[in-house]
Amino acid sequence: SNETAEGPRETMFLPRLTILFLAFATMMSAEPPGCKIRITSKGLDMLKYETQKFVEEELENITVPDLKGKEGGLQYTIQDVKIQELNLTYADLRFQPDVGLLFDIQNSSISLTFQRHILYWFLHDVGAINASADGVNIHVALYMTRDDSGRLKISNMSCDAAVAKMRAKFSGTLGKVYEFLASFLTTGMRFILNQQICPTLNHAGLVLINSLLDTVPVRQTVDKYVGIDYALLSDPVVTSSSLDMDFRGMFYVLENPNDTIVNYAAYPVVREYDRMVYLALSEYFFDSGMYAYYKAGVFSMQIMPKDLEMLLRTTYFGTIMMLNPALMEAPISLELEVSTAPRCVIKTSGATVAVTAVVTVMMLPAGQTPVQLSSMTMEAKLNAKVSMKGKKLAVHMDLRRFKIYSNQSALESLALIPLQGPLKTMLQISIVPIINNRTKKGVQIPLPEGMDFIEEVVEYHNGFIIIGANLHFTKGLREVIESNRQYMPSNSTLAP
């Protein structure tokens, strides 16, 4: 009886174990983001005004077809319908969990004018009609997803619009005579408005707002050496208080985009909601950048150390004399080549970059092959300070630790001790500024055109950096959309 009792228990346990294993395997195989962005409810409040203004402009441009009809002895034509004013008394933009965004307009009104042509038996009248649509309610849901190129898109929309009532006031010679026809004519107008609002807003979302999202870079050239991949790794995660986007955040060599490193870095976790936007960057974001520049051959340079020339000649006097005394007057140079890609470590105390390079001391006799005097290994650790300006992420380096040792012998390493201080100074004065000159130019983060970070605060965590900021519009929504539609190709939704 014990066997029969344990059999079913074991049968139930195995599927549960299998499910747990598959869930764990899925988590392990998922690519962690190098870059993560969170838009909070405060950021959405900033967008609300621009969205409301944009919707008002779209509704003002509604094209209403002519309305013609015949009822008994009455023949009428309504034409030249123009929306004069929108009064959006209540408009709200908020997150809809697992969907995207919701835009609500409630109890608002629309003022419009149109021309009438009325034939009632033998009476003919032409004139203007001032009308108002009251109790206008519009409910729009925007479904936010990742498209095939890794870009954020509005993939679908749902729209409900209703005009509760419509009033009309006639003018003209026979205006008073036809007041009784107002309800009849406005019923038709109310129906037409209801039919026109949602198609207009659907076009605004699926075409115009998506053209704004086209300005967010997916694969972008940083300089003549490297590019950066900002493809979304999955659909955005939407809760009632935020929208989170996981981007690949990976640099690559332009000449060989497939030569990249695997992301084993910590998953950046954002827990804050106080600012409008948060940008999280893992160690992989910086490591992939340094790997790409290393593979592009940027970390290799030759220096003619005028300030160190006498010290180097003194240090290597014996070597020069043994090789060829005639070399004593030849120019001397230092060739510095990074031997492995630099690595970044981020802790709560800050970010550091570790660099290992081979420094070769060369004599350069005129018209002859360069002669190597010595080869030494340099290990340096630099402090990295991250900053944001607008949409540009920049890094400033400072030398923190430095040592050199000989590749040949411990005895030669002792002889290099007098060079430690001067070489460190040369590194600070000559090489670090070259690096900073490149990194201060910055790299663009994945934000739409016309939107910048302000009031940034940088926080360092174990394995990643979080930059909390507020948003600032440098251009209006309409301005960005119009300029983007004018200059971007029709297939701009595809990654370059």
pLDDT at 282: 96
User: Tens-of-pLDDT digits for all 496 residues of the chain?
Assistant: 444 445 555 554 455 555 555 444 444 457 899 999 999 999 998 888 888 888 888 888 887 777 777 776 777 787 888 888 888 878 889 999 999 999 998 988 888 888 878 777 777 778 787 888 888 888 999 999 999 999 999 999 888 888 888 777 766 555 555 565 666 666 776 777 778 888 888 888 888 888 888 888 899 999 899 999 999 999 999 999 999 999 999 999 999 999 999 999 999 999 989 999 999 999 999 999 999 999 998 888 887 767 777 777 777 767 777 777 777 788 888 888 899 999 999 999 999 999 999 988 888 888 888 888 778 898 999 999 999 888 899 999 999 998 888 777 666 667 677 777 888 887 888 788 888 888 888 899 888 888 889 999 999 999 999 999 998 888 777 777 777 665 544 443 333 3
pLDDT at 101: 92
Cα dist from 362 to 304, 323, 357, 424, whole Å: 10, 12, 16, 19
Cut 0.75: pTM above it: yes
pLDDT at 208: 83
pLDDT at 146: 93
Distance CA 131, CA 34 (A): 55
pLDDT at 326: 76
pLDDT at 311: 77
